[in-house]
Amino acid sequence: MSEEIKAPEKKKRIFSAIQPSGTITLGNYVGALRNWVRLQDDYDCIFAVADLHAITVRQDPKEFKKNILEAYALFLACGIDTEKSIFFIQSHVHTHAELAWLLNCYTQFGELSRMTQFKDKSAKHADNVNAGLFTYPSLMAADILLYQADLVPIGADQKQHLELTRNIADRFNGIYGKTFTVPDAYIPEVGARIKSLQDPTKKMSKSDENVNAWVAILDKPETIMKKFKRAVTDSEARVCVGEGKDGINNLIGIMGSVTGKTADEITAEFEGKGYGDFKTAVGEAVVETVRPIQDKYNKLISDKAYLEEQYRKSAEIALRISQRTLDKAKKKIGYIL
């Protein structure tokens, strides 16, 4: 008797989006983008440049347009593969804005007012506390629910938003019957949490006024080396993980994240060597990591026709998938389609 042929197991779907901020830091790459690339073989991945979310803060039109295209090219350069994944620009798929409005009406005012990011951003942009800043978690929910995503890769600062997305989906499903998949968090393997090179108690962030505190993926090699040579350390002059050694702990974490070496291996390698040698080695390892990304980015950004072909193709597929969900939700509510 011939063996029964089993149908291939359906892959779980992942959705994730990143705003086009104009600069991707080493921390962004290690913490998010590199994980996106790794997920592509094992999951049905849908990724987006979240340009609709970006306008809760006032944008310069020329700079904004440039940032969107550069972000798209850079994500491709980092390894997003449009043969394996759907990768589009959010504003090109109108269902996001449409479902966001519907979900606004199934999101409670109290839920939105408890969002810590709203409080933080309101304080930072006190002259522009707009309604979008308040309701953008409903847009985030729409982004995820449109694609019936099973999993959403999140960091610690996004747990609250995913919980709200789950609440909105449960509420809608409870009223109208099963409409949306209730997504779970995808917590990637814990890698190094990249900290500021000048204040290693804080996360590496491009909003840091001290440009030596963060490394951009597109920084020139000499700039990267200069930033690492200026990195804050301590007075012990011994390369090892330890209490009160935040600067060295951070550099060991960075070295490990770009080379795959463990903290013990790094400690053994630099036994008896000074911090100067170590900082140079970390800088060189980072330069070698970003070099192929920079080379690919430079080719892509000069080929606007190719970029347009990729984001248009993905947007068409994303629209087909998301329209089914939007129509389903509208029918449940009672709209005439």
Determine which one of 12, 66, 84, 203 is catalytic. 203
Name the helix (H) or strand (E) containing 288.
Answer: helix 275-301
Lookup: tokens for 71: 């972000």
121 is known as an active-site residue:
yes
Catalytic annotation, pick one of 121, 195, 245, 279 = 121
Q: Residue 184 belongs to what H/E stretch?
A: strand 184-186
203 is catalytic: yes
* Nearest in space to 203 (alpha carbons), one of 195, 211, 212: 195
Residue 268 has a CB neighbour count (10 Å cut-off) of 12
Long-range contacts at 161-167 (CB < 8 A, ≥ 24 apart): 161/115, 161/117, 161/137, 164/107, 164/111, 164/115, 164/137, 165/137, 165/140, 165/141, 167/111
How far does CA 288 lie from the centroid of its chain? 22
Q: What is the CA radius of gyration of the chain?
A: 22
The answer to whether the beta carbons of residues 200 and 232 sit under 8 Å apart is yes
Q: Coil, helix or strand for 47?
A: strand
Q: Is 6 a catalytic residue?
A: no
- 8 Å CB contact between 30 and 60: no
Which residue is catalytic, options 84, 206, 328, 330?
206
Catalytic residue positions, numbered: 121, 203, 206
